[in-house]
């Protein structure tokens, strides 16, 4: 059986379309989505509809949660973007469909020895697992894994293997064999906003039965997404939001786009640079 596991689409339609096309060429039997359908990008409607159709197995991400509740634990910049998305959805006639989709997403999915969750096994929404994560936190996470856990959230492909309680990690995973007696925690990277430093390609994973993980990188029309950001309402919306303008100033950012309240430019730049 082949499973495609995708995460962190962040309302980037060209990236999702390209990933789905690539998945079709791989003959995957099913697609599992690890959360953050929305946030950052403008195409929340198309993306949530496409995910509902193609990836019926899915979990909730912190940006999905922020839209149906409030941006809890976000930095000022992420909170502004989440609030914009929330307003856009709430003000749109078609927003109800997106809210229904987001509201139904569970915190985690368990299928036999496989766990699917957005952030980490010990905290489905917020705790990042990165190359610098301390041993104690890693141990707690592996204690919550029967054999395989697939996560997203950091937008960075990262592959953890645990043998007899000792974890090791691989920073640039490609095709990795899985030993039946070992445990694994596998970050599948991000489709819509990769943060790999210089690589803007959409990233996802194919799980071959339960014995091989294959990372796939897919080129997509980045300019089309940048155009969509530039044509979006984010900058115009922000100018009229005193509370959020204040928050941006409080963040004391040195980012030239953010200082000028050019959030479209900021998001486009990050997408282009893969960071």
Question: Judged by CB, which is closer to Fe ion: 62, or 133?
Answer: 62
CB nearer Fe ion, residue 22 or residue 36: 36
Residues that bind Fe ion (CB under 5 A): 8, 36
Q: How far is the CB of 267 from Fe ion (least distance, A)?
A: 13
Specify the residue, 183 or 201, whose C-beta has the smaller distance to Fe ion: 201
To Fe ion, the closest distance from the beta carbon of 125 in angstroms equals 11
CA angle 166, 170, 174 (to 5 degrees): 135
Q: How far is CA 56 from CA 8, 53, 154, 168, 222, in A?
A: 15, 7, 23, 32, 26
Q: Which residue is nearest to Fe ion (CB)?
A: 36
Q: How far apart are CA 128 and CA 101, in angstroms?
A: 25
Is residue 108 a contact partner of residue 124, using CB atoms and an 8 Å limit? Answer: yes
The CA–CA distances, whole Å, from 125 to 72, 182, 221 equal: 10, 25, 29
Q: Cβ 36 to Fe ion, closest distance in Å?
A: 4
Name which of 36 and 76 has its Cβ closer to Fe ion.
Answer: 36
Residue closer to Fe ion (CB basis): 106 or 167 = 106
The contacts of residue 115 (CB under 8 Å, 6+ apart) are 108, 109, 121, 144, 145, 146, 148, 149, 150
Task: Give min distance, CB of 106 to Fe ion, in A.
Answer: 17
CB 113, min distance to Fe ion, A: 26
């Amino acid at each position: 059986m082949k499973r495609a596991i995708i995460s962190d689409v962040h309302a980037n339609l060209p990236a999702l379309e390209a990933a789905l096309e690539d998945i079709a060429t791989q003959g995957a039997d099913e697609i599992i989505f690890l959360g953050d359908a929305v946030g950052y990008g403008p195409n929340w409607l198309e993306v949530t509809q496409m995910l509902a159709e193609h990836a019926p197995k899915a979990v909730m991400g912190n940006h999905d949660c922020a839209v149906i509740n409030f941006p809890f634990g976000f930095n000022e910049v992420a909170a502004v973007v989440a609030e914009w998305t929330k307003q856009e959805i709430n003000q749109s006639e078609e927003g109800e469909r997106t809210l229904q989709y987001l509201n139904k997403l569970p915190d985690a999915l368990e299928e036999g020895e496989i766990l699917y969750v957005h952030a980490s096994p010990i905290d489905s929404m917020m705790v990042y697992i990165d190359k610098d994560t301390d041993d104690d936190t890693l141990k707690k996470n592996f204690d919550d894994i029967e054999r395989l856990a697939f996560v997203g959230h950091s937008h960075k492909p990262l592959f953890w293997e645990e043998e007899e309680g000792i974890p090791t990690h691989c920073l640039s995973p490609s095709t990795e064999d899985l030993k039946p007696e070992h445990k694994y925690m596998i970050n599948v990277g991000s489709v819509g906003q990769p943060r790999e430093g210089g690589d803007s390609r959409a990233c996802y994973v194919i799980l071959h039965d339960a014995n091989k993980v294959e990372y796939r990188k897919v080129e997509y029309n980045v300019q089309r997404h940048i155009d969509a950001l530039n044509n979006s309402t984010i900058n115009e919306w922000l100018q009229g939001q005193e509370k959020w303008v204040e928050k941006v100033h409080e963040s004391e950012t040195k980012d030239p786009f953010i200082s000028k309240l050019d959030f479209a430019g900021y998001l486009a730049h990050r997408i282009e640079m893969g960071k």
